[in-house]
């Protein structure tokens, strides 16, 4: 084969490989308002196959003409035909995304990053600790676990929200507790409006939660400060650092480890993360200069 022939083959291969920077068009099929500022969009590809993704991964969602934002996948991994994203309206891009009604076309890049690998918790207890919108990236891992519930021991979900009105997936939380034997403990920071449940920090629930730390897998997602203290509390309980995983989110832009916006010392969180073990993160989480 001539050198020209090699070049032609290489070019075809390059052309055949999906460009990670090129969004695929997806159409919004359904939307749901979860809380006053948080919405879930159900997306379907306009052409091509459904996305194959892992619980914990995210995509870059593109509102055409406005911009792109990293959004974790919040749907059921057993239903890859319906990819769901739960989005909190906190800025111009997310405002455009949550305003996208059925029929709107959005761009999707991904799935990107690492997953929770909840399957590695089989045979032991599993602890989920979520804060605020952090329950959304954990939801696929919970649903994955539920689809093989008998393979796991005790399962505990500890969830903290700002107010009772900010509690996400209330129906799911009830169902997971009543139908799937998951111990769900919810606490809020501000318990006005006739709230009868707990008020306080989610990390306070860790010390009283019923699980065997020596054989537990702990998955934590929420604001970074919350994760730092939750990880410390889980570590104090005896969860091994390599069995304690956190979903780190920084300023992700390219999503493929090129631009460096999400760099945390030697880590590019968009490709090395967002899910990382506490054994790698612990030395980095309290360093202000990183």
- C-alpha 201: how far from chain center: 21
Q: Is 199 in the site for another protein (CB under 8 A)?
A: yes
What are the Cα distances from residue 252, in Å, to 43, 138, 261? 21, 19, 6
Complex with another protein: residue 7 or 162, whichever CB lies closer: 162
Nearest-approach distance from CB 93 to another protein, in angstroms: 6
Nearest to 119 by CA among 156, 84, 146, 137: 146
Q: Which is nearer to another protein, 50 or 90 (CB)?
A: 90
- Determine how β-strand 182-188 pairs with β-strand 198-199: parallel
**Residue 203 or 247 with smaller CB distance to another protein:** 203
For another protein, the closer of residues 199 and 290 by Cβ is 199
First-residue to last-residue Cα distance in the chain: 51
Contacts of residue 127, defined as CB under 8 A and 6 or more positions apart, other chains included, come to: 155, 156, 157, 158, 206, 209, 211, 216, 217, 218, 219, 234, 239
Q: Strand, coil or helix: what is 172?
A: helix
Distance between CA atoms of 241 and 160, rounded to whole angstroms?
22
Task: Give min distance, CB of 37 to another protein, in A.
Answer: 10
Q: Which of residues 228-287 bind another protein (CB under 8 A)?
A: 229
Which 3-42 positions form the footprint of another protein (CB under 8 A)?
A: none
- Counting contacts by CB under 8 A, is residue 200 touching another protein? yes
Nearer to another protein, 78 or 207 (CB): 207
Q: What's the sign of the alpha-carbon dihedral 174, 175, 177, 179?
A: positive
Helices 278-285/224-237 angle, 10° precision: 120
Nearer to another protein, 168 or 219 (CB): 168
User: Minimum distance from CB of 270 to another protein (Å)?
Assistant: 16
Q: Count residues near another protein (CB under 8 A).
A: 34
Pair 265, 280: CB distance under 8 Å: no
Q: For residue 195, state whether it binds another protein (rule: CB under 8 A).
A: yes
Helices in the chain by DSSP H: which ranges? Answer: 3-16, 92-98, 135-146, 170-180, 224-237, 278-285
Q: x/- contact string, 142-181, with another protein (CB under 8 A)? A: ------------------xxx---x---------------
Which phi and psi (to 5°) does residue 65 adopt? 85, -10
- When binding is defined by CB under 8 A, the residue of 153, 191, 241, 257 that contacts another protein is 191
Which of 126, 226, 248, 270 binds another protein (CB under 8 A)? It is 226
Which residue among 12, 192, 279, 283 contacts another protein (CB under 8 A)?
Answer: 192
In the complex with another protein, the residue whose CB is nearer, 64 or 195, is: 195
Q: Which stretch binds another protein (CB under 8 A): 24-32, 76-84, 108-116, 131-139?
A: 131-139
Contact 202/158 with Cβ under 8 angstroms?
Answer: yes
Q: Which residues bind another protein (CB under 8 A)?
A: 69, 88, 90-94, 131-133, 160-162, 166, 187, 189-192, 195-201, 203-204, 208, 222-223, 225-226, 229
């Amino acid at each position: 084969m001539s050198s020209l022939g090699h070049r032609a083959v290489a070019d075809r291969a390059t052309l055949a490989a999906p460009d990670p920077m090129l969004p695929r068009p997806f159409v919004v099929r359904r939307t749901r308002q979860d809380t006053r500022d948080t919405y879930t969009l159900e997306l379907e590809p306009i052409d091509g196959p459904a996305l194959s993704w892992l619980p914990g991964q995210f995509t870059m969602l593109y509102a055409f003409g406005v911009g792109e934002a990293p959004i974790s996948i919040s749907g059921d991994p057993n239903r890859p035909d319906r990819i769901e994203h739960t989005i909190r309206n906190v800025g111009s891009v997310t405002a455009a995304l949550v305003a996208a009604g059925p029929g709107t076309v959005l761009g999707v890049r991904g799935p990107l990053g690492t997953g929770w690998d909840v399957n590695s918790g089989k045979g032991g207890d599993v602890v989920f600790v979520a804060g605020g919108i952090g329950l959304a990236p954990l939801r696929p891992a919970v649903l994955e676990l539920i689809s093989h519930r008998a393979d796991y021991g005790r399962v505990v979900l500890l969830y903290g929200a700002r107010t009772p009105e900010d509690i996400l997936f209330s129906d799911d939380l009830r169902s997971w507790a009543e139908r799937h034997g998951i111990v769900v403990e919810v606490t809020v920071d501000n318990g006005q409006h006739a709230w009868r449940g707990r008020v306080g920090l989610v990390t306070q629930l860790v010390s009283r939660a019923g699980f065997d730390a020596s054989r537990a897998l702990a998955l934590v997602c929420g604001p970074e400060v919350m994760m730092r203290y939750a990880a410390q509390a889980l570590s104090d309980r005896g969860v091994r650092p390599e069995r304690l995983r956190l979903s780190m989110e920084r300023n992700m832009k390219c999503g493929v480890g090129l631009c460096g916006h999400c760099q945390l010392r030697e880590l590019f969180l968009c490709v090395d993360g967002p899910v990382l073990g506490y054994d790698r993160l612990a030395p980095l989480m309290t360093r202000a200069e990183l």
